[in-house]
Amino acid sequence: MSGLPIDMPITEIITKRKSWRTYNGKPVESEKKEQILNFMTTLDKPPFGAEARFQMVDLDLKGTGKVSGTYGVIKRAETFIASIVKKNPMDMEDVGFLFEKIILFATAIGLDTCWMGASFSRSLFSGKIGLKPEETIPVVSPIGFRAGRRSLTDAVFHMSAGSKNRKPWSALFFDRTFNLSLGKKDCGKLEVLFEMVRLAPSAVNKQPWRLVLDGDKVHFFLKRTMGFESMFKMDLQRIDMGIAMCHFELAANEVGVEGRWKVKEPDIESLPDGIEYVVSCECYGDF
């Protein structure tokens, strides 16, 4: 498990990052762009081995401030990071895992971002990144500097997402079975890892991850929101699972918990409806 090449604690970065859709129009300095480009070249292969790449795209706003192809959501952001992945069974989880690392790195060097999986036109980017037939663009994010205040559209998105209204531990984390909630005092160093997962961003703040602590293993499950995939024409909740995995791994690295990702579905009785197994983390050492 690897961390980020920065001095700021990952717990601080995760807490600091907010989605921002209204920018001040100031161009991103070439030095910061170079830092991100260099960081993207250092990304390890993701947990499921998908072939993903990431590209910086500069748009010409022609002085209007409107970002064509974002349906009026993004204002005055000229630079974006686009994710590109070759289609395979676990591609969305891997994109979420890797792209969140880029988002958090951008946050650490003073840039604002916003996950976008539905409110952008893929044709706006496909021609600029040389998209291949076997590839897709799951998500993009603007990078830049936030404006002094949110636009009306941004404020509506921010309020409707309700990111401050996160689910409590008892709804997300469980002890060996889904019939028993996990208490903070019951998981030692892993408390930080679980809390960083709880704070992870997700599409429309649905927080689809459900984690089960089972001895030295943590099992990740996806709690589906019915109709979500058809509504957005992209399986954003699988991307959310990758983001949760990213937060878990980065926090583990920070507090000194070692582990490895492994796909081996556990024998847990009475799974709730709409629950899908995704992956497990086998932890070892002192935790």
Q: Chain-wide mean pLDDT for the chain?
A: 89
- Whether residue 195 is contained in a domain is answered as yes
- In three state form, how does the secondary structure of the chain look? CCCCCCCCCHHHHHHHCCECCEECCCCCCHHHHHHHHHHHHCCCCCCCCCCEEEEEEECCCCCCCECCCCCCCCECCCEEEEEEEECCCCHHHHHHHHHHHHHHHHHHCCCEECCECCCCCCHHHHHHHCCCCCEECCCEEEEECECCCCCHHHHHHHHHHCCCCCCCHHHHEEECCCCCECCHHHCCCHHHHHHHHHCCCCHHHCCCEEEEEECCEEEEEEECCCCHHHHHCCCHHHHHHHHHHHHHHHHHHHHCCEEEEECCCCCCCCCCCCEEEEEEEEEECCC
21-25, 95-99, 157-161, 198-202: range with lowest mean pLDDT: 157-161
3-state secondary structure 56-118: EEECCCCCCCECCCCCCCCECCCEEEEEEEECCCCHHHHHHHHHHHHHHHHHHCCCEECCECC
Q: Into how many domains does the chain fold?
A: 2
Residues 278, 172 share a domain: yes
Do 39 and 118 belong together in one domain?
Answer: yes
Q: Which of 158, 207, 124 is nearest to 20 (CA)?
A: 158
Residues 198 and 63 both lie in one domain: no
pLDDT (0 to 100) of residue 228: 66
Q: Decide if 155 contacts 22 (C-beta within 8 A).
A: no
What CATH code is carried by the domain that includes residue 176?
Answer: 3.40.109.30
Q: CB 142: neighbour CB atoms within 10 A? A: 28
CATH of the domain at 69: 3.40.109.10
Tell me whether residue 4 is in a domain. Answer: no
Instruction: Identify the pLDDT of residue 150.
Output: 66
Q: How far apart are CA 201 and CA 139, in angstroms?
A: 13
Say if residue 189 is in the same domain as residue 102: no
> What pTM did the predictor assign?
0.92
What mean pLDDT do residues 242-247 have? 98
Strands 209-214 and 217-223: antiparallel
Compare 72 and 282 and report the one with higher pLDDT. 282
The number of angstroms, rounded, from the C-alpha of 47 to the middle of its chain's C-alpha atoms is: 14
Do 140 and 153 share a domain, yes or no? Answer: yes
Could you say which of 127, 160, 193 is where a domain stops? 160
Half-sphere exposure of 66 (CA within 13 A, CB side): 6
Residue span of the structural domain in which 251 resides: 162-284
| pLDDT in the model for residue 35 | 97
**Which of 160, 183, 210 is at the close of a domain?**
160
| In the predicted structure, residue 160 carries a pLDDT above the cut 70 | no
Q: 134 and 198, same structural domain? A: no
For the chain, how far is it from start to end, CA to CA, in angstroms? Answer: 15
Residue 154: its pLDDT value, please? 56
Q: Which of 131, 160, 189 corresponds to the end of one domain?
A: 160
Q: What is the mean pLDDT of residues 114-132?
A: 87
pLDDT of residue 163: 52
Q: Which residue has the tokens 């161009």?
A: 27
Residues 111 and 181 in one domain: no
Residues 142 and 169 in one domain: no
In a domain, 37, yes or no: yes
Digit-coded pLDDT (tens) for 52-82: 999 999 987 665 555 666 666 888 899 999 9
